[in-house]
Amino acid sequence: MKEHGIQFLFAGTQRDDPTKHHIVMKFPNIEEVQAFREDKELTEARREAGAVIESGVMTPISNEYLTNYPHAHTKL
């Protein structure tokens, strides 16, 4: 993950379905997003850790709305 410059901003399970995990990640640029998607070694490591790769949905959003919270960590 460090190789792609990924910064995790949020990770948590869905309240009504704890089997659904939502993650907000910040990438340095769109090229690293593509490199992350195409990294077969990382994909296999994630799969071995229990990630169900086929069910994942990636939704790119604008970076400008996250810049106020670069190190937000919240535990409810």
Domain containing residue 10: 2-52
Q: 45 in a domain, yes or no?
A: yes
Q: 21 in a domain, yes or no?
A: yes
Q: 59 in a domain, yes or no?
A: no
Cα 51 to Cα 42: distance, rounded to the nearest angstrom: 11
Q: 13 in a domain, yes or no?
A: yes
Taken in order 40, 43, 47, 49, the sign of the CA dihedral is positive
Q: 58 in a domain, yes or no?
A: no
Residues 6+ apart with CB under 8 A from 5: 27, 28, 32
pLDDT by 10s per residue, the chain, length 76: 788 888 888 899 999 999 888 988 888 888 998 999 999 999 999 899 988 889 888 888 776 655 555 565 555 4
Q: 44 in a domain, yes or no?
A: yes
| Tally of domains within the chain | 1
Q: 70 in a domain, yes or no?
A: no
For 29-45, letters b (16+ CB in 10 Å) and e give: eeeebeebeeeeebeee
Q: What is the pTM of this model?
A: 0.66
